[in-house]
Structures are given as structure tokens and as C-alpha cells.
Structure 1
Amino acid sequence: MPTSDIAVITGAGSGIGANTAVRLARTGVTVALLDVNQEGLDRTDKSVQRAGGQAITLVADVGDPDSVADALGRVPGDVVGLLNGAGVIVPLREPRPGGHGPQLGHVLRSRRSQLIDPRNTHGRIGQPEDVADVIAFLLGPAAAFVTGVDIPVDGGFVSQVHLESQVPIIALDSQQ
């Protein structure tokens, strides 16, 4: 069991959480994987190992503070980073057994063509790997002086919207 500095990742069973775990593993960071889904944790654990990393898998429900406290209490070592990557559950359809709706990623994939805005300079939907790369940067030594800033990982969408809102309106005076 690893006892070095550890990054804790909630929602590590899939999506951004799983991709971030693998990305961090490639840089030598030990990851504590938290998710409600044991099968997802097992898949991510195998991916982390294939990337040459070490992982601790912990089943926990981030909606239950006692569950999270118990899981964090079993993390050996010092927690030096935390990604709250637990997925949003969207109630767009009838809930599945257990009261949960479909995962956000499934909804987004089914509406992909409707979501690409021309202001997204990459012309594609962002992938979990895109977000994982930014998270790995922020948890790494290269970001030691980065603080108090939002970093949108959106293919340039926010910048384009911001630029559009900053276009000056010039009023022409016909008397000049």
C-alpha cells in the first residue's frame, strides 16, 4: 500500500475522474480513487497500473459525508490534492433503480451535434482527457505560482463570448 503524497479523486470510476487518475499516474502521483461504482473503480485501477502508477480504491458516496469521511480516513499518506470529479446525475429521463437518472456523459453524447457552438475554436466537444491535462498541470510543480484564477477548459468558448461582449458601440454624431 503506497504511503507517499496522494491525490484524492472523487468520481474516479469514469469520465474526467478516471482520466485524471491515469494522467496523474503517468507523472508518478499516487491516487486514491473514490466512487460509488466498484466496477468503475476496478477499471480505473487497472488503467492506472498500466500507466505505471499506484492507486488505492475506495467505495464512497460523495452525497454521504460519513461515507466520504470513512474513505478519507483509510487513505495512507498525506493528501496533497483533491479533484471533486464526482459526476452530475441529470434527471432528464425516468430514474433508474436506486433513484438515479442517466449519467451526464450519456446525455451529452446523444446531443453532441447540438452542443458544438461556432464560438468553440476547436470545433469539437471537450474530452475528459482535455480536463485531466489541466488538472494534472494545476496539481504539479509547474503551477506552483498559479492561484485564484479560473481556467475554463472549453475550447475557447468563454473567450469568444467575452470578446463579443467587449465590442465597443460607436455612436456617430451627425453634427460633427
Structure 2
Amino acid sequence: MGLVTGKTALITGAAAGIGRATALTFAAEGAIVVASDVDDAGGKETVAMIEKAGGKAIYVSADVSKPTDVKTLIAKAVAAYGRIDCAVNNAGIEGKITPFADQPEDNFDAIIGVNLKGTYLCLQAEIAAMLKSGGGAIVNLSSIAGLIGFPGLSPYVASKHGVIGLTKNAALEYAKAGIRVNAVCPGGIDTRMLDSLAEQATAGAQSSAEMMDPLHPMGRIGTPQEVADLIVWLCSPRAGFITGTAIPIDGGYVAQ
């Protein structure tokens, strides 16, 4: 028996990185998966990987910043499998590294729209579905940028701090309804997003690992699988008394 055998799990941003690793791990631990993204090719590839390994999954294209897309996503998930037991709000963008006073408004709006509003919209729809089926577990993707500041990334930092606020409030409001809501706060993780930030910060002179490894007390960045393992555990019965938390998974970064 896996950690989440028989559960239905919804993962946004499932086309690559942490989202893909999380979708694959849910499937490996016995869940039926609904994978969603705006990258249709990547999302369908994630589903194909799950099916090749013997799991069951569907792909639903959705832009989480759009209310109609989110409503359709949840409706299709429920129509396919009857319920949503676990939800992972992972879809996110990093935007441009720019000093605070020079941040373009469109950059701010895009990041807040996906990272914060998208999480808000997904939470609303997921909670509504879980209330009808008797409860569930939700994990929101924040970041160490939701716990501390990072010069040049003010909209991203604001969005990820906001995700933790949404997490705490939702957890408090629905604890007695059997819905647990937590956040995870990754440090540097080997993903395309980190590669993009490294490219911007060093003009391509350093890889993400070269830039970020020395900044982590453990001397390395993390892997998507390490984050996925934490997420799936938080959605499992083994984490049944945990709600309203924001857990760093960062090799000691924020302990410095």
C-alpha cells in the first residue's frame, strides 16, 4: 500500500520540475492523478510517464490566473474521478529580476496573477469540492522567498509571502471540516525556474548550481523529488495532525 492509495490528487504546474515530480510520486504512492498546466505538451508527457509506469492520470489544460479555467479544471477532475482528495497548487512564474523602484507594473501583475491569485482561485474551488466529499489535504507552493526577502524579486517575494497568508487562513477556516492546508517553502531546487534566475543574475556566466550551491549550508541545491516526497507525505494520513504550516525545504538556507 502506498501513502495515498485510492486517493485522487490534483497538481497544477505539472508539466515539469517540482510539479511533474509530485505528479509522478503521487501516482507511485497509489493515487489517481489530475495533472494540469498551460504547457500542454509537457503536461501530456507527465501523464504518459504515469501511464507507462502503470498509473492512472488525465491532463487538463488550465491557466490558474483565469477563474473560468480553474472552475473548468475542478469540474473536469470531479467529473472524471468523483472527488478531489489531495490538491497541490504548484503553478508559478518567477518574472524578471529588477530593482524595486524599476519593477514594471506588467511584471508585478503577471507574477501576482499566477502565483497568488492563482493559488487563491484554486483554493476556493478545491475547498468547495472537498467540502462536498468530506475533506482533503491541500499543499500550496510557497518558497524561501515567502519567508525572507530577495533583492530584485519583489513581486515574486510578495506573491510567495501571500501564499503563506492564504495557507494559514484557509487552514484555520476549514480545520473542523476535515480539510488540511499547508505550504512548502523550497530553497534552490534544480528546475527550469532556477535556471532562468541564474541566467538573469549572471548573464549566463554561471549555472544555477554554481550560483546557488554555496549559498546553502548543505553545499548543494535540492532536487524536485525531495520536494515531491514532502508534498505527498503532507497529503497522506501520516501528516494528519499538521495544518496551517509553512515548511522550509532548503538545505538550511533560512536558518542562517
Q: TM-score, normalised by structure 2?
A: 0.53
Tell me the residue number matched to 2:246. 150
**% identity of equivalent residues:** 36
Tell me the alpha carbon deviations over residues 3-42 of structure 1, each in whole angstroms, 9 at most, x when there is no partner: x641111101111111000011001111111111110011
Cα deviations across residues 29-63 of structure 1 (Å, max 9, x unaligned)?
A: 11111111110011101121233321110011111
Q: Please give the TM-score of this superposition, normalised by the length of structure 1.
A: 0.76
- Which structure 1 residue ranges, 4+ long, deviate > 3 Å from structure 2? 108-111
1:151 is displaced (CA, Å) by: 1.3
Aligned residue number for residue 211 of structure 2:
114
Higher mean alpha-carbon deviation, 6-15 vs 120-129, is at 120-129
State the Cα distance separating 1:82 from its structure 2 match: 1.2
- Secondary structure (helix, strand or coil) at the match of 2:34 reads strand
Match of 2:53 among 51, 54, 57: 51
In structure 2, the partner of 1:123 is 219
* Local SS of the residue matching 1:86: coil
Which secondary structure does the structure 1 equivalent of 2:219 belong to? coil
Where do 5+ consecutive residues of structure 2 fail to align?
1-5, 99-109, 112-191, 200-206
Match of 2:139 in 1: none
8 Å contact from structure 2 (residues 14, 43) kept in 1? yes
1:86–1:20 Cα change, 3 Å: same
SS at match of 2:85: strand
CA distance in 1, matches of 2:70, 2:55: 23
Query: What is the identity, as a one-letter code, of the residue corresponding to 1:48?
Result: I
Residue aligned with 1:116, SS = helix
Give me the whole-angstrom Cα distance separating, in 1, the residues matched to 2:49 and 2:18: 14
Larger Rg: 1
Shift of 1:105: 3.7
Instruction: Give the aligned length.
Output: 150
Q: What is the RMSD of the two structures over their aligned residues, measured on CA atoms?
A: 2.4
Three-state SS of the structure 2 residue aligned to 1:58 is strand
Q: Is the 8 A contact 2:97 2:197 kept in 1?
A: no
Aligned counterpart, 2:31:
29
C-alpha distance in structure 2 between counterparts of 1:106 and 1:71, whole Å: 29
The alignment partner of 2:88 has SS state of: strand
The answer as to whether partners of 1:90 and 1:104 remain within 8 angstroms in 2 is no
SS in 2 for 1:28: coil
SS of alignment partner, residue 35 of structure 2 = strand
In the alignment, structure 1 segments of 5+ residues that lack a partner are 94-98, 162-176
- 8 Å Cα contact 1:22-1:51 kept in structure 2: no
